[in-house]
Structure formats: structure tokens, C-alpha cells
Amino acid sequence: MVLTILVFIVMLSVLVLIHELGHFLVAKKFGIRVEEFGFGFPPRVWGKRIGETIYSINLLPIGGFVKLYGEDEAGSGRVKPVANGKQPIADLDRAFFARPIWQRFVVVIAGVAMNFLLAIVIISYVFSAEGVPSLGDKVIVTEVIKGSPSDVAGLKKGEVIYRINDEKIESTEELIGITRKSLGKEIRLGVGGEKIGEEREIKLIPREKYPADQGPMGVAVGQSIVVKKYPWYQAPFEGTKEVVKDSFLIIAGLGMVIRDLLSSGNVPQGVAGPVGIAQLTGEFVKTGPVAVLSFMALLSLNLAVLNILPIPALDGGRLFFIVLEAITRRKVNPKYEAYAHAVGIAVLLALIAIITLHDFVRIFQGKPIFPQ
């Protein structure tokens, strides 16, 4: 339990700090004044000013934040005047809201980019050092129903089906397709162990009528799994392709979650909040460091995808107002933008509360996050 909590805190802290580091580095690069870069969330425990920036350690140890000059917590820009009621032009020039549109756009999107980059780095490492499980080209018998045509013919659990008649079989879809075309007709199966040269031939007739929970041959099959490693120079390309593919899957999943929430008012199965993520972390800790790294990459990718969506209070919401300003050539009224972000924060907190309550109810009932 203690190890799980520590891993959970470290993992989320790294994800958020990497995100905030993106904002920090790009803001510094553009000359925007960074007032504070904090580890954890206030209240502040310790802080040290280095140059014009305070580097702080805060009481709540999850995540971190970057405070830019001229950017309030809602995302709109404002600068407090000095005692004489005027602000030095040099300081105004370094305020976030006073920077060109393209610079503000890059600063905001930098956090998302860092989370994408982290996911790519982790997945590329796993692909190169540990390998990635993928479907092989062998169809393996996982179960033989007693008294079925396969059982009578002598097919054994664990054997590989290499061919039907003279046609090579490399996937379960091919096996099912050919079998369906041969109902009531005798077929010859080339089967054997996974080593070359162990093949033998058996004959059977796929049933035209069979129990609802069985197939024509009375056998369950699965695809073989192989672990594929990529050389270090190829792994980043494969890792990037994997991140892009997973990003679209995450977007599709978020769409289904929103649809289910709106249509039924219930939290869909497989959706987890902070409590559920901590529970999943424990399962990955049991599996090993590589599993934890893979889970961390997935969380980083989820954080990036969620943040880029045009939801007020998130980076995507801030980007929306920046793009709107670019299109209309007019700054959005800070008051209206602040209202939008405030509503966004309220909705997000309510959603997190609902999902967290669902996590507690599920744990109390002993139900898994991903029911089979």
C-alpha cells in the first residue's frame, strides 16, 4: 500500500511537472516574466528567489504550477499597477497577455507537447529495451470441447493449426472464414506443435448445427503472441506512431464517455478518477517497473489529449480564446473569459467528484474497473 501511494504520487508529480516545465521553458525563451515555478500546490512550505523567479516547494505534493506575470488563475491577463498608478512599459512588455498571439499560443500548447513527448520517450524506450507484445502468425488451440468434431478427430489443446486442406492459416479470422464455407464437408487440418517439422494431419467435418456456445468444430482458438523489439534508431518512429494511434483511441473513448453520461447520467464502466487510477497503479506495481512505465506513458497521453480539448479552464480552453482573438483581431473581454474559465473549473470539479464517488462505490462493492 505504501509503495503504491509513493509510486502514484511520484508518477502524477512527474506528469504535471513535465507539463508545467513546457510552459516555463517557452515563457523564459520568449522573455515572459515567470513569477513562480512551484512543486506541489500551495500553501508554500519553502521558496527561494533566483533572479526574478521564485522556485517553491508546496504542501500538497502532487503536481506543480507556473505563475506567469500578467496571467491570473482564470487565464485572462491583468497587471497590478504600481503606487503611482502607472506600470513601467518594460514590465508590461514582459506580461503574458501583452505578448504576440503566436507566442501566447506556443506557451500554452508547450505543456501538452511535453506530455506527448514524454509518452513518446517512454514508449520508445519500452519498444527498444523490453519489446512490445504483438499478434503473431500462428493460430493456437486454447480449448477443445469434449465430444465435438475436433475432440473426436484428436485435436489437442495447445496445438497450432497451420492449414486447412492446402490453404495456409495465419489468423483466427482466416480459420473461421474457411470453416464457415465448409460446413458439413470433410476438411483436412495440418496441426502440431509450434516447432517446424511437428505437423500432422487430421480430418473432421465441421457441424452445420451446433450448440449456441460452441462453433462448428467445437474448438476455441487464439492468436499467438510474439514480443517484438525495435533497434534504438527505429524505436522513436514506432513510438510516435503508437502515440498517434492511441491518441485517436483516447479521443473516441472520451466521446463515448460523454455520450453515456449525457444519455444515462451514469459513469460508464472502465472510467476511473484519482482513486481508480491509484488502484490501477497498485496493479501495475505488482507486475513490475516496465508495466508502471507503460501506464505512466498512457496517463501522460491522456493528460495531453484532455488538456488540448477546448474546455474552459484547460489549456485547450485558453487556446480557444487566443485563436478567437486571432480571428476577430480583438482581445476577448477578460471578464467574460474569466467567467467561462470559472464555469469550466466548476464543471470539471463536479465531474471529478462524481467519478471519485463512483470509484468508492465500485471498490466498496468489490467490482473491478474493467469488467470482463
Q: What is the pLDDT of residues 184-197, one digit of tens each?
A: 999 999 998 766 55
Q: Domain of 210: which CATH number?
A: 2.30.42.10
At 282, which amino acid appears? G
Whether residue 77 has pLDDT greater than 60? no
- Following DSSP, what letter does each residue of 283-300 receive, concatenated? HHHHH-HHHHHHHHHHHH
User: Same domain for 194 and 246?
Assistant: no
Residue 80: strand, helix, or coil: coil
Domain count, the chain: 2
Cα–Cα distance, 210 to 203 (Å, whole number) = 18
pLDDT over 50 (residue 228): yes
Distance CA 57, CA 40 (A): 6
Contact assessment for residue 204 and residue 187, using Cβ atoms and an 8 Å cutoff:
yes
The C-alpha atoms of residue 316 and residue 371 are separated, in whole angstroms, by: 32
Determine the Cα–Cα distance for residues 99 and 70; give it in Å rounded to an integer. 10
* Same domain membership, residue 87 and residue 142: no
Task: Give 29 or 269, the one with higher predicted confidence.
Answer: 29
Which of the four pLDDT bands, split at 50, 70 and 90, describes residue 129?
Answer: confident
pLDDT over 70 (residue 372): no
Q: Collapsing DSSP states into helix, strand and coil, what is residue 85?
A: coil
pLDDT given for residue 255 in this prediction: 79
Please check whether residues 122 and 242 belong to one and the same domain: yes
Cell 502607472 locates to: 86
Q: Decide the pairing of beta strands 187-192 and 219-228.
A: unpaired
> Does residue 335 share a domain with residue 269?
yes
CA atoms lying within 13 Å on the CB side of residue 33:
16
Q: What is the mean pLDDT of residues 2-26?
A: 90
Q: Would you state the pLDDT for residue 270? A: 61
Same domain, 102 and 50: yes
Residues 6+ apart with CB under 8 A from 260: 266, 268
Structure confidence at residue 76 (pLDDT) = 44
Long-range contacts (CB closer than 8 Å, 24 or more residues apart) made by 289-297: 290/126, 290/130, 292/7, 292/11, 293/122, 293/125, 293/126, 294/122, 294/123, 294/126, 295/11, 296/11, 296/14, 296/15, 296/122, 297/118, 297/119, 297/122, 297/123, 297/126
Q: Examine the domain organization and report whether 70 and 7 are in the same domain.
A: yes
Which range marks the domain in which residue 276 is found? 2-131+233-365
Query: Same domain, yes or no, for 326 and 249?
Result: yes
Q: Which of 230, 261, 254, 365 is nearest to 309 (CA)?
A: 254
Domain end (from 228, 261, 288) = 228
* Over residues 245-251, mean pLDDT: 87
CA atoms within 13 A on the CB side of 303: 29
What's the pLDDT tens digit per position in 291-323?
899 889 999 999 999 899 888 888 999 999 999
pLDDT for position 371: 47
Do 312 and 330 reside in the same domain of the chain?
yes
pTM score: 0.72
- Please, are residues 45 and 58 in contact by the beta-carbon 8 Å criterion? yes
Task: Count other Cβ atoms within 10 Å, centred on residue 180.
Answer: 11
User: What's the whole-number mean pLDDT along residues 141-149?
Assistant: 90
In a domain, 370, yes or no: no
Q: Are residues 144 and 47 in the same domain?
A: no
Asked if pLDDT for residue 73 goes beyond 80, the answer is no
Residue 295 falls within a domain, yes or no? yes
| Mean local confidence (pLDDT), 192-213 | 81
Tens of pLDDT, residues 155-183: 998 899 999 998 898 888 888 888 888 89
